[in-house]
Structure 1
């Protein structure tokens, strides 16, 4: 057994336990609720069902209240980390080639794997491997998610047949599943829900094919060399970091 060379650092997370007393709005992969914190007041909380399961009234939940307590960019929500007495089922196909190898929340207790659109097992791999450009597709870089409200309607006024895709970068961005803006724009966005190591790879599926399910929440996958397993996106930059209607 080894002895740490320095004292253990203080916790950076403000943990709380509570009980769900009421369910609120639900959209995409997000569920609002009211939680009565043990020995404290009731607070608003948010759960992502694909990560923690779907809390029900009466469930005890474990909360991360760090940013909520500091009134930072969580939209006024504490975040549900787990429903300890009713854990969700294991992910389908975990450990198989089709399960995906891109890790979000890397090296954190809540890291999750997703399948990248450029992985060898996907239907898009050959097209992405052969492509060299984005096909002269025009780009618009909004500084925050809510500005998509202006772009998508404007494009379709010009030509209703045009396809609009939204690429979310890694960094401090609002999770896609948390955004009510993206949820509302979903029917008019092409190719949503794909992950990829490079931004251009995430865009290509928008040119054809059906719009897949959004999948687990989180930021876009990190960039890396084609066909590799991982890597970091040196060009990624933070997004808005605001509330779910952003």
Structure 2
């Protein structure tokens, strides 16, 4: 399915170097324009917007996407740095080149011609985009000097500038992003997870390295048809580079869907069936009944290797977590739920960070 329509720009509600938020007279009534792929517009311009996601009423599809500006007749239009030759969104009408850190043209090229090891460093694996700002503000609670680097894979939104949370985080001194694969818009661009890890360690010199995705993950209610299956690939890449993969469990006792209640099968399935190198799975302090539920779920799984599964014996994180949520510039939610609605999700992220930092020491 593909749908589009012609509409007119009524207002520019937000604009920065990368994006415009527009009010339009048709469709969803609001549209996103990515400046690296479409020339910026003014009020009154006629545009063509892709309405597919809004027609389907997708969770993250509340915006139409500008595909073409009709009222501008420039014969040639270009943007961005022409140095790079690695294509993103390859072989689509919006393909564009970027300068990746590994490229021969890059000032960092020499770094990637040398052997590399994570040398026992922890790397946190975060299935959901909502985990990213939470992790950052938690690191700042624990140590304001920590440099946090997030590697964004292409299993969800490709343009990083879609995320309002990331537009805020990119203003923070100690936050850095790397976009990998077909994802684009990070502080650094990389071709693979492995070289992004090398960049995070050797160039960014990050204290906390996280692998995650942008907003808009996919799930189908099936055994293997969900974005989180990529976690096993991330875990193997970290292990192959002599790092310690720290799986952040997706947990909920508010989600009514059986597959996400307790510890989500989005964590258990890729960890148990598809991960062949040992990983660490920290679990937060829970009430007895909750612990028994999660333990039962874990015991029913069939594992390829014996993982390091750690149940917290006491609550060492809720104080830091509450302070982190207060520090956050924007409200942090997951599936529309705040901390008060589903505390275990937030506590699981905090405990995973604590355990990983403890291992690093």
Q: Determine if the TM-score, normalized by the shorter chain, exceeds 0.5.
A: yes
Q: 1:30, 1:48 within 8 Å by CA — same for their partners in 2? A: yes
- Residue-by-residue CA offset, 1:40-69 (whole Å, 9 max, x unaligned): x67111111121121110111111001111
1:197 and 2:183 matched: no
Runs of 4+ in 1 over 3 A off after TM superposition: 91-94, 134-137, 203-210, 233-236
- Residue-by-residue CA offset, 1:63-107 (whole Å, 9 max, x unaligned): 10011111114441000012133257324664xxx2x22222222
Q: 2:28, 2:63 within 8 Å by CA — same for their partners in 1? A: no
Decide which moves more: 189-198 or 44-53: 189-198
Q: 2:15, 2:21 within 8 Å by CA — same for their partners in 1? A: yes
2:23 matched residue in structure 1: 34
1:126 and 2:110 matched: yes
- Structure of greater relative contact order (alpha carbons < 8 Å, 6+ residues apart): 1
How do residues 68-217 of structure 1 correspond to structure 2 at under 5 angstroms?
Answer: 68-86=54-72, 89-91=77-79, 94=82, 98=83, 100-173=84-157, 175-186=159-170, 187=172, 188-190=174-176, 192-207=186-201, 208=203
Q: 2:36, 2:79 within 8 Å by CA — same for their partners in 1? A: no
1:62 and 2:48 matched: yes
Aligned counterparts of 1:134 and 1:69: Cα–Cα separation in 2: 45
Distance 1:204 1:132, change over 3 A: closer
2:9 to 1, 20, 29: 20
TM-score by length of 2: 0.50
TM-score by length of 1: 0.70
- Residue-by-residue CA offset, 1:197-236 (whole Å, 9 max, x unaligned): 12232244445469xxxxxxx98xxxxxxxxxxxxx9948
2:243 matched residue in structure 1: none
Distance 1:76 1:50, change over 3 A: same
1:53 matched residue in structure 2: 39
Aligned counterparts of 1:164 and 1:42: Cα–Cα separation in 2: 36
Number of aligned residue pairs:
200
Unaligned runs of 5+ in 1: 1-11, 211-217, 220-232, 237-244
Distance 1:53 1:121, change over 3 A: same
Q: CA deviation at 1:163?
A: 1.0
Aligned counterparts of 1:93 and 1:167: Cα–Cα separation in 2: 22
Q: 2:14, 2:20 within 8 Å by CA — same for their partners in 1? A: yes
Q: CA deviation at 1:127?
A: 0.8
Q: 2:36, 2:80 within 8 Å by CA — same for their partners in 1? A: no
Question: When you count helix as a share of all residues, which structure comes out higher?
Answer: 2
Q: CA deviation at 1:150?
A: 1.4
Q: Which has the larger radius of gyration?
A: 2
